[in-house]
Structure 1
């Protein structure tokens, strides 16, 4: 039987894996559809354990993601902080949604994060909106049920609270 482990280690480990999945090279065709692994992971832990994963965790992870992707510092940190704040203030409602309803909310939050990132990048660098910029919103929504079930199973199996 697996003993109760430290929740902080599990959260950090899953966020580390999400960061790796965010930077792993993919073919150009597949890269346009890459789910936002880090945002989904932050979303799950904020719903499951809002006292451990909160806006501060989202900001730090977003800042690390900015460094790894070589983008303007603070852009993804801002987007993830906004999403984490919205999720943290509504976590009791979101817990009562079905997985499919949560997938729609995850899609909406991913879309919001993408808009914030584009807006901040546009203000700094004057970039144009790519054609497939919002494809990850769809793939993140589709991936949510499986990610949710995997992380919930790990949280229950390891008795993380």
Structure 2
């Protein structure tokens, strides 16, 4: 029980990384939620002293390696998103889960705009509106991930 308590944040981030790279059919893949961003967002708001910009940066490096993108693209986007949450976590904790879902949508949009911007600078890819579908799926998934991770945090007394 003690080991799970200490490693539960890392385990949840690893599960999110696996969910981020699981192959999906092309028709469904454009709606893939930002699993890593959602999990990092929860832990940033719940435990800002343990999960911060440094954790987001290292997780972004892992995502770059797993997805085969240029090194640092996801690190920059995740770091900016988590920094925004860290700077406002005390205010965001007081919102209802549904209000937080809207905030997660805004953070996810920021994440995707930064990803697009950096990739556009590197490769010149054009912007497509379908690029923002994960924002909607991340917003819809937030309440369930929030409740699941909060239950795990309370059950294992993580603080």
For this structure pair, what is the TM-score category when the shorter chain's length is used for normalisation? over 0.9
Gaps of 5+ in 2: none
Q: Contact (CA 8 Å) 1:55, 1:81: kept in 2 or not? A: yes
Q: Contact (CA 8 Å) 1:6, 1:160: kept in 2 or not? A: no
Aligned mate of 1:143, from 141, 144, 157: 141
Report matched runs for 1:1-161 at 5 Å.
Answer: 7-161=5-159
Deviation at 1:27, TM superposition (A): 0.4
Distance 2:6 2:64 in 1: 22
Cα distance change of structure 1 residues 65 and 43 upon mapping to structure 2, 3 Å threshold: same
Q: Which runs of 4+ in 1 moved over 4 A?
A: 3-8
After TM superposition, the score normalised by the length of structure 1 is 0.95
Q: Contact (CA 8 Å) 1:59, 1:81: kept in 2 or not? A: yes
Distance 2:52 2:129 in 1: 32
Q: Contact (CA 8 Å) 1:5, 1:160: kept in 2 or not? A: no
Larger helix proportion, structure 1 or 2?
2
Q: Residue 31 of structure 2: SS of its match in structure 1?
A: coil
Deviations 1:37-95 (A, max 9, x none): 00001100000000000000000001110111111110110011001111111110010
In angstroms, what is the RMSD of aligned CA positions? 1.1
Distance 1:120 1:70 in 2: 15
Moved more, 137-146 or 65-74: 65-74
Cα distance change of structure 1 residues 95 and 5 upon mapping to structure 2, 3 Å threshold: farther
Distance 2:148 2:94 in 1: 18
